[in-house]
């Protein structure tokens, strides 16, 4: 494609950063781009050298990539067919001016083509991202050079399967996990003992150990460690309350083993339990994601089934075992979907045959009808949410004879 250089070096004001300034060098844009600094233009942009409004950020072109990738994130995965890799990380540390940090991360990571979900709070950061493989080094450089994040983010927790798992980048100011109680850095300082994936099987043999699955019941449904206890609740807030109650009657030195998807829920829950006085609390470092990487290397697994993920993939297999059934026909299946009618959005397991039969919906006549409408029609005649949160994540409460039933239909 023919490309041309537009613009001249000029000084621009970045009001979000309270008067910070940036020198913008000439940029190479494709002929499809009309306004060089719009979001749509950034997608086609190939910066020659670009300084941004924050002095700690310096983006480079592919020609500037180091001959050897940084070793702290090795081994690097192969990207998916679309060129993206998926990763996660979290870290507990004090962040001031969180709205400024939020805006800074949103604007700078967008220029790298990163998509995903990032939570920023006064206690740190929690991120799940899909990153163009060519930009992985740039992201690590950004984290190591930025004044807020420098030295705070350890090795990336690589996913088991890679693709662009998110549509866009959303950076939000909110608690890192919805614990339901105030979990400040003073509490998080009581972090549990971390067990490496290679040592987890040995820990599971600990006599009288209570193995806690700190995920939701629907996550537990498609994959789990044998003999793990998953409280029958619908939110992490409820789960943490129940776990504290369960552990309150145990001896203080009683062994407690915890695991979750990527580790952060156990880091928080383990810190709360240790603050409560329990002294022998351990958690799987990196969660099921990191354990899955260990399984790929060794071929041995104490985890069975699939690891649920909160993105477009809806899960990634750790082993080939299928532990669940289609909510509509009862055949063996572990593929979670959301009803194609977005106002319904019911989360349930659906096999390919039922997906074809019900056009990707829960089978309600209303949902089938609306799934066949054009996007414009659905937006024009948008309906309110059809379920409570509990009903939406508990298909066993609403499915009868392979079809979801809602009192609103009567």
Catalytic residue among 247, 260, 326, 344: 260
Distance (Å, rounded) from C-alpha 108 to C-alpha 20?
14
- Residue 367 among the catalytic residues: no
Distance (Å, rounded) from C-alpha 210 to C-alpha 56?
46
Distance (Å, rounded) from C-alpha 124 to C-alpha 135?
23
Structure tokens at 107: 């604007």
8 Å CB contact between 128 and 109: no
| Tokens 């621009």 -> residue | 12
- DSSP calls for 284-303: ETTHHHHHHHHHHHHS--SE
Structure tokens at 134: 């060519």
The neighbouring-strand residues paired with 14 are 20
What residue ranges in 198-284 does DSSP mark as E strands?
Answer: 210-213, 223-225, 256-259, 281-284
Provide CB contacts within 8 A for 397, sequence distance 6+. 390, 391
Tell me how far CA of residue 51 lies from CA of 12, 26, 108, 262, 336, in angstroms.
Answer: 11, 11, 11, 34, 43
- DSSP calls for 93-138: ---SSHHHHHHHHHHHHHHTT-EEEEEEETTEEEEEEEEEGGGHHH
Provide CB contacts within 8 A for 33, sequence distance 6+. 40, 41, 44, 45
Active centre residues (catalytic): 260
């Amino acid at each position: 494609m023919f490309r041309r250089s537009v613009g001249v070096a000029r000084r621009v004001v970045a009001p979000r950063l309270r008067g910070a300034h940036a020198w913008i060098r000439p940029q190479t844009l494709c002929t499809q781009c009309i306004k060089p600094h719009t979001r749509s233009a950034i997608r086609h942009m190939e910066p020659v050298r670009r300084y941004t409004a924050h002095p700690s950020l310096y983006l480079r072109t592919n020609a500037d990539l180091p001959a050897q990738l940084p070793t702290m994130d090795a081994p690097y995965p192969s990207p998916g067919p679309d060129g993206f890799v998926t990763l996660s990380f979290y870290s507990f540390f004090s962040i001031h001016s969180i709205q400024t940090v939020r805006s800074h991360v949103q604007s700078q990571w967008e220029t790298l083509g990163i998509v995903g979900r990032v939570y920023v709070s006064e206690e740190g950061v929690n991120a799940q991202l899909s990153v163009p493989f060519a930009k992985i080094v740039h992201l690590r450089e950004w984290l190591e050079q930025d004044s807020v994040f420098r030295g705070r983010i350890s090795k990336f927790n690589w996913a088991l399967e890679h693709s662009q798992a998110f549509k866009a980048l959303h950076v939000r100011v909110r608690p890192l996990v919805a614990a339901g109680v105030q979990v400040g850095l003073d509490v998080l300082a009581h972090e549990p003992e971390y067990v490496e994936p290679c040592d987890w099987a040995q820990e599971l043999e600990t006599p009288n150990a209570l193995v806690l699955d700190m995920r939701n019941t629907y996550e537990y449904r498609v994959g789990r460690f044998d003999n793990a206890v998953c409280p029958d609740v619908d939110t992490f807030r409820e789960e943490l309350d129940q776990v504290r109650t369960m552990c309150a009657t145990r001896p203080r030195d009683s062994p407690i083993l915890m695991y979750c998807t990527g580790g952060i829920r156990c880091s928080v829950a383990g810190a709360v339990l240790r603050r409560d006085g329990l002294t022998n609390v351990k958690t799987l470092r990196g969660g099921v994601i990191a354990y899955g990487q260990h399984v790929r290397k060794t071929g041995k697994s104490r985890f069975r089934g699939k690891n649920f993920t909160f993105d477009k993939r809806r899960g990634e297999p750790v082993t080939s075992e299928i532990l669940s059934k289609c909510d509509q026909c009862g055949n063996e299946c572990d593929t979670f979907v959301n009803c194609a009618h977005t106002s319904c959005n019911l989360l349930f397991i659906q096999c390919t045959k039922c997906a074809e039969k019900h056009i990707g919906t829960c089978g309600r006549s209303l949902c089938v009808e609306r799934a066949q409408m054009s996007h414009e029609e659905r937006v024009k005649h948008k309906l309110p949410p059809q379920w409570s949160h509990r009903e939406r994540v508990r298909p066993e409460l609403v499915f009868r004879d392979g079809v979801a039933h809602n009192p609103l239909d009567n």
